[in-house]
Structure 1
Amino acid sequence: MMIERLREYVGAETPTGDAAALNAFADRLGTRYAELGATVRRVPTPTGDHLVADFPGRAGAAPLLFLAHHDTVWPIGQLRDAMPWREQDGIIHGPGVFDMKGGLVVLETALEQVAGRDHRPLRVVVVADEEVGSPSARSLVTAEAQGAYAAFGFEPPHPNGDLKTSRWGSTRVRIEVTGREAHAALDPASGVSAIDELVDQLLAVRRIVAGYDEVLCNVGTITGGGRTNVVPGSAAADIGFRFVDPATEEAVLQAVAELQPERDAQLAVRVMSNRPAWQPSAATDALLAQVVAAGRSVGQEVGGAAATGAADTNLTGWLGIPTLDGLGPIGQGAHAVHEQVIAATLTERAALVAAIITSL
């Protein structure tokens, strides 16, 4: 049943930003959550609706918050062309099986298993733009997290199945340069190359980052110019930063914001999305101990470790809410064409989540 549902969900491709595809998938989730007893709310945005589902539970108890997303990094057609659904030797391949349609199936199955049993109220938040940093969902996640007993994410776990107990901070920054176009051969001196300026600024960013330990910096996209015989008048780059602690994050981002042009060009630095660092805490350690006990009740050994990747659980951890992530099935290849999950871990993870819900 879980594999069939995963195949259905993977078959409904949901690239970030495709509002029609995302909203159609949200319809499926909302209908299913309502069937399981939830009060479902849609939070509309131009790039796809977010979903909030509240399941009733023990009177007066603080709720458990479950965080998930229904967008993927893959375009429509990926399933037909480069990544067809495939089951072989207990491994399931396909776009989104690992990140995070598999996690959605685990969550849904666990909700089915605890229906009618005693547990805390449950709140499920499924966002539509997690893969680009949740720019439209940050305020929603923050608001829905208020008063939660604990938060759990359904992102992929560590390769050995361990849960994630902290995460590096993640910030996307765009550097935009406006120069001045001119004929590259007849009048080059009248032009100001936006591309040359952008290259110099990216080198300056590298120098900034080199002054700090444990900062990751990836220039993910570069655009600019249009013809080889025209001095380019515009250029831009998107940069992904990862930070282990808030102090380093603040210092690096401040230095990047204060960059100055090297030539007669205009420079703009914008933060596109930000997820603050979720640092280790005694509260999360205590939650992990409870989850370890829940796991043992269903014959599973559960561990936890820090993670470098970012997700919506960064926000709950940063807010001081005891948080764990990585409750999706075990697999590999997030954002890669060999994306896959181990089929048997779908049922194992669902049993673990059901045990967590009924034991906290």
Structure 2
Amino acid sequence: MTADRLREYVGHETPTGDSQALNAFADRLLARYRELGGTARRVAAPTGDHIVADFPGRGPRAAEAPLLFLGHHDTVWPVGQLWDAMPWREQDGVIHGPGVFDMKGGLVVLETALEQVADLDHRPVRVVVVADEEIGSPSARDLVTAESAGVYAAFGLEPPHPNGDLKTSRWGSTRVRIEVTGREAHAALDPDSGVSAIDELVDQLILVRAVVSRYAEVLCNVGTITGGGRTNVVPGFAAADIGFRFVDPETERAVLDAVTGLEPVRANAEIQVRVMSNRPAWQPSPATDELLGKVIAAGRSVGQEVDGAAASGAADTNLTGWLGIPTLDGLGPLGQGAHAVHEQVIAASLAERADLVAAIITSL
């Protein structure tokens, strides 16, 4: 049944920013969580609605602080990817398709676990599923912060490490946009009256590289560049989106202060630097180590050996970890190929991870 549910979810494509597709999928999640006994609601956002569901505790632990599970229903794939390049395929125990690994498989794992614990004693469970995780959750950050208040621990349903280990910390991740306004002019007849926004942007990106080079553990990727239009026109506008990764908050602050403080190199050029989304660095902590020990014990209770290790990728668990909440991520199924055309999960790991999550819910 887990594979059938995953196929249904993958068949409903949900690219980030496609509010119509995301909201239709949110309808499915709302119905499913209510079917499982939760009180579910949607939180409206212009680029796609988020979902919050609360499942009551049972027995003597019903009044204890809840466990928080974080997920997302957006993917990096456009509508049509399922049919054009990544058709659903299950072969030799491996399931292929857009979003199976990141992270509709994780959503199915949680649903299956909630079914398993329906009649067992456990503390309450809260679920937050956001619609824009793949671009840094800019519209969901406040929601995740609010729903994290008072929880016992937070768990992410993102993919695990390749060997199945959970993620115990994450680098910080920030998206920055540099926009340059110049002045258009004829490139041959009147070039001196123009101000090239593209040339200014190139020089600004060189300055960004110089800032980054001062620090040993910063990743910087210029992901997109736009500007200009004709070779006979001095370009009047150019922009670049940059992704930064930081291992600690101090380095993050220093780099972002320098980048957001950039000044034009050319006279009459204008620069605007905007932080589009930010996930602070989630660093290792004794609280997370203690939580990992409890999860290791929960895993052994269902015949599984799990461990944990740091991760470089960012997710919504960055925020809960940064807030000081004991946090672990990587409870999704085993697989590979996140954001790649060979995206896949090991079919048997869907049930195995569900057993692990159920054990976590009933033992913590």
Q: What is the TM-score normalised by the length of structure 2?
A: 0.98
Q: Tell me, in whole angstroms, the C-alpha distance in 1 between the residues paired with 2:62 and 2:315.
A: 30
Structure 2 counterpart of 1:44: 44
CA apart distance, 1:40: 0.7
Letter in 1 for 2:41: R
Provide the residue aligned with 2:7 in structure 1: 7
Distance 1:114 1:21 in 2: 31
Aligned-partner Cα distance in 2 for 1:91–1:97: 10
Superposition deviation, residue 163 in structure 1: 0.2
* CA distance in 2: counterparts of 1:49 and 1:42, whole angstroms: 6
Q: Deviations over 1:261-297 (max 9, x none)?
A: 1102001100000000000000000000000000000
Three-state SS of the structure 1 residue aligned to 2:137 is coil
Deviations 1:209-254 (A, max 9, x none): 0000110000000000011110000000000000000000000000
Question: Could you give the per-residue CA deviations for residues 4-27 of structure 1, whole angstroms, max 9, x where no partner exists?
Answer: 110000000000011111011111
Instruction: Quote how far apart the aligned CAs of 1:41 are.
Output: 1.1
Distance 1:45 1:260 in 2: 34
- Of the three residues 282, 290, 300, the one matched with 1:278 is 282
In 2, Cα distance between equivalents of 1:148 and 1:246: 24
Offset at residue 116 of structure 1 (A) = 1.5
Moved beyond 6 Å, runs of 4+: none
Match of 1:223 in 2: 226
CA distance in 1, matches of 2:275, 2:261: 13
> Partner of 2:355 in structure 1?
351
* Separation of aligned partners in 2, 1:69 and 1:257: 29
TM-score by length of 1: 0.99
1:81 to 80, 84, 87: 84
CA distance in 2, matches of 1:135, 1:83: 28
Q: Is the 8 A contact 2:103 2:332 kept in 1?
A: yes
Residue of 319, 338, 344 corresponding to 1:340: 344
Determine which of 115, 126, 129 is the counterpart of 2:129.
Answer: 126
Distance 1:59 1:352 in 2: 21
What is the match of residue 149 of structure 2? 146
Q: How does 1:258-273 map to 2 (within 5 A)?
A: 258-264=261-267, 265-273=269-277
Specify the alignment match of 2:254 in structure 1: 251
Note the C-alpha offset of 1:60.
Answer: 2.3
Structure 1, unmatched stretches of 5+, are none
| 1:323 paired to 2:316 | no
Q: Which residue of 2 aligns with 1:18?
A: 18
| Superimposed CA distance per residue, residues 57-95 of structure 1 (whole angstroms, 9 cap, x where no aligned partner) | 033200000000000000000000011111111111100
Q: What is the correspondence of 1:189-228 to structure 2 with a 5 Å cutoff?
A: 189-228=192-231
CA offset at residue 178 of structure 1? 0.1
Cα distance, 1:189 vs structure 2: 0.7
The answer to which of 255-264 and 229-238 deviates more is 255-264
Query: Match of 1:106?
Result: 109
| Residue identity in the other structure for 1:359 | S
Question: How far did residue 340 of structure 1 move?
Answer: 0.6
Distance 1:102 1:54 in 2: 20
Q: Read off the aligned partner of 1:316 and give its amino acid letter.
A: T
CA distance in structure 1 between the aligned counterparts of 2:62 and 2:354, rounded to whole angstroms: 25
Alpha-carbon RMSD: 0.5
Conserved 8 A contact 2:62-2:122: no
Give the aligned residue type for 1:82.
A
Find out whether 1:157 has 2:164 as its counterpart.
no
SS in 2 for 1:253: helix
Equivalent-residue separation in structure 2 for 1:59 and 1:339 (angstroms) = 39
**Percent identity over the alignment?**
83
**Partner residue, 2:184:** 181
| Equivalences, count | 360
Which residue of structure 1 lines up, in the alignment, with residue 35 of structure 2? 35
Q: Please state if 1:294 is matched with 2:278.
A: no
- Tell me the amino acid that sits aligned with residue 40 of structure 1: A
Q: Which runs of 5+ in 2 are unaligned?
A: none
SS in 1 for 2:69: strand
1:304 and 2:280 are equivalent in the alignment? no
Letter in 1 for 2:133: E
Secondary structure in structure 2 of the residue aligned to 1:14: coil
Secondary structure (helix, strand or coil) at the match of 2:233 reads: coil
Q: Is the Cα contact below 8 Å between 2:74 and 2:133 reproduced in 1?
A: yes
Secondary structure in 2 aligned to 1:80?
helix
